[in-house]
Amino acid sequence: MKNDDTSLNYTAFLGVEMVATGSLQHVISNAKATLEEREWVQLLIFDDATGKQIDVDFRNDGVLGQLENTDDSPRRVGRPKLGVVSGEVTLLPRHWEWLKGQPGGASVTLRKLIDEARRVGGQNKVRASQEVIYHFMTAMAGNFPQYEEALRFLYAGDSDRFYNSIAEWAPDIRNHIRKLAVDAFTGERQ
């Protein structure tokens, strides 16, 4: 999904109210402060790139320290300073022969093929966006009125009816769905 607003963002909801959005550390810090100020109610944190909930154990006092000390990026072969990492590709001999005959070699050809597939893969982007919205809506709005209708309109690509069906939902949830839906409808902008 080419939505830079959600590429590494997380969002926390306390009930139906959004309490934080941003990096995981920022969201956890704000959510933890919010929990300390209020009575316990339902707190959910979502990965905006997938729409799925993540689990955080707030009983652990060192939860933020663990985030700061965690290096999720293992050392990889390649040219890490350039953002290039090595990986394994398994192909049949005829595929290797074809790649060897291409200008620039196998790596250049594979990168070009992938970039072209990403350019023409608009339907995949729409489908991925719909899945993100589905995961979020199921967790946060599954009991809301017109939930099922909204899902039908989402997958049918009917943005007008989709937005009309969620119009009466809690404002923070409705606005977050709008943010997640930036790529959900082919050729349309919200």
**pLDDT digit string, tens, across residues 68-79:** 444 444 555 555
pTM of the entire structure?
0.64
In 3-state terms, what secondary structure has residue 66? helix
Lowest mean pLDDT among 15-19, 82-86, 101-105: 82-86
Please, what sign has the CA dihedral across residues 163, 169, 170, 176? negative
The pLDDT assigned to 47 comes to: 92
Taking phi first (over 0 means left), then psi (-120 to 50 degrees means alpha), and beta for anything else, what does residue 25 get?
alpha
Residue 185 has pLDDT above 80, yes or no: yes
Give tens-digit pLDDT for 91-137.
Answer: 888 888 888 888 888 888 888 888 777 776 656 788 889 999 999 99
48, amino acid identity: D
